[in-house]
Structure 1
């Protein structure tokens, strides 16, 4: 065989090896969701690729037969074609016996390098760029190869299946998709610029609804604006002006004896129509939806849907009112700062590069996200920043108390009737070394 014929054969072997490498990586990297979309659009090749992904044994067996056979044949052809020429070159400087050995090594290195670049690295990088389209284009030729090599495929498949059974390994590929998978895809999309950072955060917030309790977003007991059933119209008007909300719990005696709620739209309508603003004179009182404080936000949404309401009273295990929540509260949690109004003060305000001023009732998940903290100690014992400080200090915090953890110092700035109003969070400093235990100032 002449040198030209040998080089042409090597080029053909490289092309064949590149074909099998491309077929292998494109099938492995093809995203099932994207393939399903293409199949739904009528592309039958996408359906074939998904079927092969479910049972990829025959496909990869053919790939490995092709790659290994071509690699061996390429080494034989390359050694026979290049070694004589390298030997002639090396004989100029060294003895013929040594020149022959050096020539064999040089031809081996050249063949390996060429196959590595053109038959492995290049096709695999190419296959990663658009795996679904390439997998669909190659599925037909690969099915033909599977048919031609069926006897060999059967032999090797039975041997491999026996080994899998012996080791107790699964025989089929699992394609279950978790929320973590979806979040990882959205984060990758945000990093690639496909999704805006705020859009990605909205998606993450939706998945958090299953883990966040109602107590993390409700209006707490001490902030509830409630009305007494027997209040005269002047008192009702004054309270509404002082605390304008969409709905007000109506109680008898104290806040723990809720009779229902009144809708601000009903009150507004009666005021405009000149009707009296009193419950004993026709002001409608709606039955209140009462929910436990251990529900998740997803469960709250389901309660709202079933009851046809958008306002609920939150009670604890002792049937004491601990807060109220509206549909708008839940949706604001999902939308984040996308729906924050101009006059609404954010719960987390960044003062400079290394300090934040945080409301004590801020959900601890929001604090972790703002500070980029992966985890906090005793995370299952609290839901807000105030709860974190109480757990770490093992008492009700006082003004100037501080806790250090994970490179941050949390200092209580303001306390109102045992309620933590403001916390200063500072990054760095000797007292904020990672893992520093809690300490009172």
Structure 2
């Protein structure tokens, strides 16, 4: 009993309570003892290995890997000890989950992708870019099965500002295409290796089913995103005068519900899905701040542009 208490339990308890102080004081003495006893330890280890070999037991040189479950346990213990915060623990756990998530769970589906036709006129292209509200767009020629590449709005805008040609097909970079079934962690590795910010996602037949960006992967690590209802409330602000200040990226179906209208209120024809897209479609050009028009009992006014991108829209009900 005394051996267990004084030789096992008490030293461990003291070491845990004063780990840094004890380690700093005993480091040099233990190092000296280890060097002095090194030859004896090697002799005993060699003898043990030789005897074990006689019984067919070989010395293992493999390092035992640490499992995800063990890492999660260590994180939990670290949080309890105050080493990690809850936020840090959550982020590390979500990094571990990247190998369990599939690309198809994080990607933007094909129905929400805004495609750029390489053969379209510049005005039509800019209308699509403004309506889309994204940073990168896939470019096709002829049909969407013939992908030219991916173009960034930044590159188009830089060339336009410098007075240089800004044809999407010329500025598009080769598209990285990844399967929708691979783990998200592997997708991240492929994006890093290719030095790309986005990748097109394909199914087993080679058809494009979505697009995945580094932002999608970052959001999977940083934490849970707000729910659809939370995002809608944040993107629609009803003012005291009865008007609405609306984010241009809000889907038109959501805003139709907000104003008590049916899904067919905006006569969707497949060219747009967001309120910003509706504005661009109605104006038939790139909008400017102050642009306004009436539509089915409401006045729509562009109140904020983020450079070339439509940002905020003021919708005011009309009496009568």
Q: What TM-score do the two structures reach when normalised by structure 2?
A: 0.54
User: Which residue pairs with 1:305 in the alignment?
Assistant: 192
**1:208 paired residue number:** 97
- Separation (CA, whole Å) in 2 of partners of 1:208 and 1:124: 34
Superposition CA RMSD, Å: 4.1
1:220 paired to 2:109: yes
SS in structure 2 of the partner of residue 193 of structure 1: coil
Q: Which structure 2 residues correspond to residues 167-316 of structure 1 after superposition, within 5 A?
A: 176-180=64-68, 181-274=70-163, 278-279=167-168, 284-316=171-203
| 8 Å Cα contact 1:226/1:251 also seen in 2 | yes
Task: Give the superposition deviation at 1:253.
Answer: 4.4
Q: Which deviations, in whole Å up to 9, do the C-alpha atoms of 1:25-65 show, x marking residues without a partner?
A: xxxxxxxxxxxxxxxxxxxxxxxxxxxxxxxxxxxxxxxxx
1:326 Cα deviation from its structure 2 partner: 2.0
Compared CA separation, residues 173 and 188, structure 1 to 2 (3 A): farther
**Deviation digits for residues 412-441 of structure 1, max 9, x if unmatched?**
xxxxxxxxxxxxxxxxxxxxxxxxxxxxxx
Cα distance, 1:318 vs structure 2: 0.6
8 Å contact kept, 1:232–1:278: no
Whole-Å separation in 1 of the counterparts to 2:165 and 2:36: 85
Greater gyration radius = 1
C-alpha spacing 1:172/1:321, structure 2 compared with 1 (3 Å): closer
Shift of 1:249: 0.7
| Richer in strand (by share) | 2
Q: Which runs of 5+ in 1 are unaligned?
A: 1-111, 338-344, 351-441
Match of 2:226 among 346, 357, 366: 346
Q: Distance in 2 between matches of 1:312 and 1:324?
A: 6
Unaligned runs of 5+ in 2: 231-320
Displacement after TM superposition at 1:139 (Å) = 7.3
1:261 deviates by: 2.0
Structure number having the greater helix percentage: 1
Report the Cα distance in structure 2 between the residues aligned to 1:276 and 1:329, rounded to whole angstroms: 31
Q: Which has the higher contact order (CA 8 A, sep 6+)?
A: 2
Q: What is the TM-score when the length of structure 1 is the normalising length?
A: 0.41
